[in-house]
Structure 1
Amino acid sequence: MWLQRPVKILKKLGKGMLAFIIFTSIATTLVVWSSGVQYKNIPAKTLTINDITQLNPVTVARIVKPESIDEIASEIASTTGPISIGGGRYSQGGQTSYPDSLHFDMRSFNNVIRLDKEQKLVTVQAGITWRDLQTFIDPYDLSIKIMQTYANFTVGGSLSVNVHGRYIGEGPLVRSVSSIKLILANGKVVNASPHENADLFYAAIGGYGGIGVIAEATLKLVPNVKVERHTSTMKLADYYEHFKTNIRDNKAVVFHNADIYPPDFEAIRNVSWLKTDKPVTEAERLIPKNKEYGWQPKVAGFVADYDVGKWVRQTIFDPIYYAQEAVYWRNYEASYDVNELEPSDRKEYTDALREYFVPVANFSRFAEKMKQIFQKHEVNIINVSIRHALPDPGTLLAWANEEVFAFVVYYRQGTSLIAQQKVKAWSKEIIDAVISEGGAYYLPYQVHASTAQFKKAYPRAEEYFAVKNKVDPNNRFRNKLWQAHYPKNKTPFEQQQAKIAQYYRNEGQTLLTIPEWYLVFNPLEYSNFLSEENNPSDFPFFASIDEYWKLYDKTLALSDNQYPSNDEYMTMLQVIGISTTVEYMYKGAYENTIGRFTHWTADAVTAEENIIRDAHSAYSELIFHQAWYEFDFAYWLKKIWTEPEFFQDNFIRKLERKLFFTLEFGFKELYSGVIKFAAKSAYDESDGKIYLTLHSDKNLEPEQVFPGEILANHDKEYLLSVPRWGGFTSIMPKLAALDVAFTDVSGNYKIAVSFITDKNSPFKPSYGKYLFDSQVVSSQKQKRIIYMVKVSDLAALLNEMRLNDHQIEHIYDY
């Protein structure tokens, strides 16, 4: 919202001004502390799906935790809407969720169905974790043939992304899959293997939940053996030859990876685990589940947070750690737990992964390009691990169409929107680099690639989409990955949306703008209070302070753990809250002393008070639509000193009101001039518009939606721009009255709405989810009610409010 800009500028203008505000507002600390304690336990939405990074919250319509194939098939057959599928939720870009979808949480679907010890085959339900499968097969001296490094993932999730690991002589997970059982969009259950329904087999594995629900899988196993660790260091430039000579065709090597040390990316440590008959140095056959990890996350944090930490790791910690002899069971070395690296929290920063696959011959060229990009963008790399994979046998979204090296990038990033944009910038650049070397990027991570990049990296994507269209013609299986790249999701409007720089906005802002907008509503309350000829000294300034901080805490409690943290915006809310607190404390103290005295001396409302009333009325009207610093404070200062007679009855009140008003508006006139100059100099102007799509069975004419603008229309779908801020709230009910159905607003499917009602009113809207109440401080009879509503229900809600004569106060437009 427009209040954010001056706060950013205030922070840039100098620490002195901010320090003065903070110093003079120390007395507000108790208010801030006391206002929010009771709201910290507001529960987060139970229908919000997120991933390990906590950067991709998505609210689904319903969550089902199936325990049988029949239950999954029945849920699919009895519904018609979008479906998303989740397992351990270790994908990092919304690949397991879709807005308003029926979401299958597969983690309770986790049994071993049968084990064939002689054939070394095991059939499992897709929700079982690799770690639980290891527990089952270890007593039989069997081991998983191919899996990723960490064992927390579900089998179904790993199949959906076609994982790989550190296994030499292997490659993508599909190479160890005998068959799968798949549930399609019509509820039909089918078997698929390289010899039966092969098109479905090679589309579903590595298909990211777009073909159907992988319900069961039959996997190939191998003997569990003892392995011994061998390690050495070398220059990165020497690694490829070392690998070809000593690792690639060595039948004794089971696991192998090489770690490139940041930030120089010149040296590597290669680690191989070879079969051995030596006694084990670790008695446990598997890493214990739920093990407490103390030093490992701290070491990872130290390496991530400090350049010296990276140096200490390379020169001190790793040489000591790898000097120890290590002989483990294969299952032990394959049962790592992601919690050994989990940071204490992910609010301010989060650790994430990227992965790039390059043909073995192009290893050195890509490594140099990668290094240059990381150093250019000052990416906080914790580790780059090199793996090897043989070619994929035929999946349609194969990341290894030939023998490849994988560069697994583990990095730390901030969670703010600015930090996410920085990650997007270097991610797109490095994707271009790997494509230029004939390689691919891995799809389970943040969806930053363009569709053009996706198609270059995955040349058989059109074949995949053809299979999807055949078995899922209504595009039921969806997630954020396919929302970005599947042609059926790219409507003419989405193509147009992509061209609009300011189209997409963060859904979390619809909550965070609530306390900010209160600083617009409250001046309107004050203006109305004066218009009703109330004594200005009776306005509840102190209650207004308390109400702001209550709203701050309520919205923070609701948005916490649902949306990525927005530290910059939270700082802005704190700054404007403190400055408003200071202003209202001074005004409240003044009005309840000097103001009350001069009011007592007067026997009538003075002309100055009428001007002050009109000025605040004009100000409260302007700030619904424009930045506050655009207001003409000087005009009203001149008016109050030139229009009324100076010497008249009630002189004390007249003079005091002139001086009080001059102090308030005079300071704002000076302050606004500075802010306005800085804003024009430092920031690109907002286009002042909100963009949305809607469906209308009637033809919409431009004059019908004025002052909105129709940007595109096709087959009863319209793409519109409408004014932001107050204009958005006023025009949306008019659009709703035309019997339209809104599809999205700024790319979002949820939006907060507030309305004013009597405290004892029994009215409850039929649409949306109640969030909380807010007191209208100038009237003990009224309250503000905040709802979160689906954008698809917004028109129905607005029409219901209109028909029941209820006042919509605001629609919070991000």
Structure 2
Amino acid sequence: MKRLTIFNLICLVLAAFIFLLKGDDQSTNLAGVGLVVNKAWLVENKNVQTPEPDKRPADQTFLTYPEWFLVFSPVEQADYYQSHTSTTFPIIKHIHQVWDGYEVVSDQIEEDFEYNDDYHTMIKVISISTTIEYGLKAWYEKIVGRVTDTHPHEALTEEDQFNGKFTRDYSNFLGAQPWYEFDFTSRLISLWTETSFFGPHLMRKAERRYFLTTELLCKIAYAKLIKMGTQSMYEKPVLTTVIVLDKSPEGIKGDSAIEEIGKTEGGDTIVRVPRYAEFTPAAVQLAKAGLSFKEIAGNNSAILLTVLTPQEYKFKDETVQVIFEQLITTKENQKRVAVVTTVPHLSALLVQLVDNNITIEHIYDY
């Protein structure tokens, strides 16, 4: 434990150094300073109808955001790498965004919930690791990558194309499984067996092969280390969420992702749905069917979601509180908006967003 503490301290110092070298940036716009969510929404459910094993703490709807940003970041990178090299990706902005987002969500729960030391420690560890990774990548790309980089009008090398496919596979995997479970070894083998040593832009090909090999080897080693630590310290993650609905989902009972498991004493319907990435489409499906949420994972108060909107889009609903907006750094007219509503108002909000063709990025189901 002492060694781990020292290691974390060293990582924190390195991360802070890299972060501060780049100064501040303006890609996160706050809705206000400190707590902006209605305090009446920040309460524990006193009359829980959800089965005890399926309850999760109310503050986790906020605390899960930084984890999910580290899913959204590779998604944005994968989109960008379809037609660009990683050398020109504004990766430093993502360092600022993960820490800015963590600060805002922490401010919302600081006064009303007991400090969750284990969860905050986990967030800091993964955020520090990401800061170091992204900081080193930014430094390398600025010093070396830009020397070998191809011009925007030129075709991507096989290695740059490989990077795009690898990042896409990785980002898709992160929506359902922990990052350290990803098969980095097979991707390393593919890099060396499925891309040619020769071809146009030979210097770029050789440099990218070195860069990607180094990245994959580091990820293989770090994933093994984290996997061993996680298995010894944490329980296996629960892959489902229990929801209490106002009525039975008659019209969608054939959907295997939504399982009716019982009734409450008051006659409300209890269903089990997938957690993580699959929770959002399941919740949208229930909302579109005219069903209202009474509880999600035992909670009936504040719930966080992020949506992707045009820059000019504004929320005007009193049942919704924006807590921050972030620029999508590679898409000039798009922003991420983090909004909070209450569980009973979630269904109406989801229908409104769907009707307005707004992309629901994720619902943070505790």
Preserved contact between residue 759 and residue 781 of structure 1 (Cα < 8 Å) = yes
Distance 1:34 1:804 in 2: 34
Gaps (5+ residues) in structure 2?
A: none
Hey, what does 1:790 align to over in structure 2?
342
Distance 2:225 2:35 in 1: 42
Q: Which has the higher contact order (CA 8 A, sep 6+)?
A: 2
CA 1:799–1:37 in structure 2 vs 1: closer, same or farther (change >3 Å)? closer
Deviations 1:535-558 (A, max 9, x none): 322211111111112112211222
Distance 2:172 2:148 in 1: 28
Distance 2:166 2:247 in 1: 42
Counterpart check, 1:27 vs 2:42: no
The structure 2 residue matched to 1:741, chosen from 270, 292, 312, is 292
Deviations 1:671-712 (A, max 9, x none): 1123223433443312311111102266356423x3132211
Q: 1:26 offset after TM fit, Å? A: 3.9
Hey, what does 2:191 align to over in structure 1?
640
Counterpart check, 1:569 vs 2:123: no
Preserved contact between residue 323 and residue 339 of structure 2 (Cα < 8 Å) = yes
If you compute each CA radius of gyration, which structure gives the higher value, 1 or 2? 1
Distance 2:39 2:138 in 1: 43
Distance 1:568 1:755 in 2: 28
Preserved contact between residue 710 and residue 721 of structure 1 (Cα < 8 Å) = yes
Counterpart check, 1:811 vs 2:363: yes
CA 1:561–1:32 in structure 2 vs 1: closer, same or farther (change >3 Å)? farther
The aligned runs of 1:399-438 (5 Å cut-off) are: none
The structure 1 residue matched to 2:88, chosen from 500, 515, 538, is 538
Preserved contact between residue 765 and residue 800 of structure 1 (Cα < 8 Å) = no
Deviations 1:407-455 (A, max 9, x none): xxxxxxxxxxxxxxxxxxxxxxxxxxxxxxxxxxxxxxxxxxxxxxxxx
Preserved contact between residue 37 and residue 340 of structure 2 (Cα < 8 Å) = no
Hey, what does 2:139 align to over in structure 1?
589
The structure where strand makes up a greater share of residues is: 1
Distance 1:762 1:570 in 2: 31
CA 1:42–1:666 in structure 2 vs 1: closer, same or farther (change >3 Å)? same
Distance 1:571 1:778 in 2: 30
Q: 1:716 offset after TM fit, Å? A: 5.9
The amino acid of 2:43's aligned partner reads V
CA 1:683–1:12 in structure 2 vs 1: closer, same or farther (change >3 Å)? farther
Distance 2:38 2:350 in 1: 26
Q: 1:638 offset after TM fit, Å? A: 0.6
Q: 1:519 offset after TM fit, Å? A: 1.1
Distance 1:15 1:790 in 2: 38
SS of equivalent to 1:58: coil
Deviations 1:220-259 (A, max 9, x none): xxxxxxxxxxxxxxxxxxxxxxxxxxxxxxxxxxxxxxxx
CA 1:592–1:780 in structure 2 vs 1: closer, same or farther (change >3 Å)? same
Residues matched between the structures, number? 361
The aligned runs of 1:198-277 (5 Å cut-off) are: none
Q: 1:592 offset after TM fit, Å? A: 1.8
Q: Stretches of 4+ moved more than 6 A in 1?
A: 35-40
Distance 1:506 1:537 in 2: 41
Hey, what does 2:254 align to over in structure 1?
703
The structure 2 residue matched to 1:665, chosen from 199, 216, 221, is 216
Distance 2:324 2:355 in 1: 23
Distance 1:789 1:536 in 2: 36
Q: 1:622 offset after TM fit, Å? A: 0.5
CA 1:645–1:688 in structure 2 vs 1: closer, same or farther (change >3 Å)? same
Preserved contact between residue 545 and residue 580 of structure 1 (Cα < 8 Å) = yes
Q: 1:668 offset after TM fit, Å? A: 0.6
Preserved contact between residue 320 and residue 341 of structure 2 (Cα < 8 Å) = yes
Counterpart check, 1:717 vs 2:303: no
Deviations 1:263-291 (A, max 9, x none): xxxxxxxxxxxxxxxxxxxxxxxxxxxxx
Counterpart check, 1:58 vs 2:43: yes
Preserved contact between residue 45 and residue 562 of structure 1 (Cα < 8 Å) = no
Distance 1:628 1:699 in 2: 37
Distance 1:12 1:782 in 2: 44
The aligned runs of 1:458-477 (5 Å cut-off) are: none
Distance 1:748 1:563 in 2: 14
The amino acid of 1:690's aligned partner reads T
Hey, what does 1:497 align to over in structure 2?
51
Distance 1:552 1:657 in 2: 32
The structure 2 residue matched to 1:688, chosen from 239, 257, 273, is 239
Preserved contact between residue 44 and residue 562 of structure 1 (Cα < 8 Å) = no
Hey, what does 2:207 align to over in structure 1?
656
TM-score calculated relative to the size of structure 2: 0.89
Q: 1:32 offset after TM fit, Å? A: 11
The aligned runs of 1:165-564 (5 Å cut-off) are: 480=46, 483=47, 494=49, 497-498=51-52, 501=53, 503-531=54-82, 533-564=83-114
SS of equivalent to 2:308: strand
Per mean C-alpha deviation after superposition, the further-off stretch among 784-793 and 761-770 is 761-770
Hey, what does 1:48 align to over in structure 2?
40
The structure 1 residue matched to 2:324, chosen from 764, 772, 780, is 772
Distance 1:792 1:774 in 2: 26
Preserved contact between residue 696 and residue 739 of structure 1 (Cα < 8 Å) = no
SS of equivalent to 1:561: coil
Q: 1:34 offset after TM fit, Å? A: 5.8
Preserved contact between residue 542 and residue 584 of structure 1 (Cα < 8 Å) = yes
Distance 2:112 2:229 in 1: 34
Q: 1:741 offset after TM fit, Å? A: 0.8
The structure 1 residue matched to 2:8, chosen from 18, 38, 41, is 18
The amino acid of 1:580's aligned partner reads T
The amino acid of 1:696's aligned partner reads K
Preserved contact between residue 31 and residue 323 of structure 2 (Cα < 8 Å) = no
SS of equivalent to 1:813: coil
Distance 1:807 1:12 in 2: 45
Per mean C-alpha deviation after superposition, the further-off stretch among 612-621 and 586-595 is 586-595
Hey, what does 1:90 align to over in structure 2?
none
The amino acid of 1:536's aligned partner reads S
Distance 2:222 2:324 in 1: 35
Preserved contact between residue 751 and residue 812 of structure 1 (Cα < 8 Å) = yes
Hey, what does 1:760 align to over in structure 2?
312
Deviations 1:510-550 (A, max 9, x none): 1122222111111111111102x123222111111111121
Preserved contact between residue 249 and residue 286 of structure 2 (Cα < 8 Å) = no
Distance 1:592 1:771 in 2: 33
Preserved contact between residue 766 and residue 797 of structure 1 (Cα < 8 Å) = no
CA 1:636–1:718 in structure 2 vs 1: closer, same or farther (change >3 Å)? same
Distance 2:262 2:149 in 1: 58
Deviations 1:203-227 (A, max 9, x none): xxxxxxxxxxxxxxxxxxxxxxxxx
Q: Quote the sequence identity (%).
A: 29
SS of equivalent to 1:703: coil
The structure where helix makes up a greater share of residues is: 2
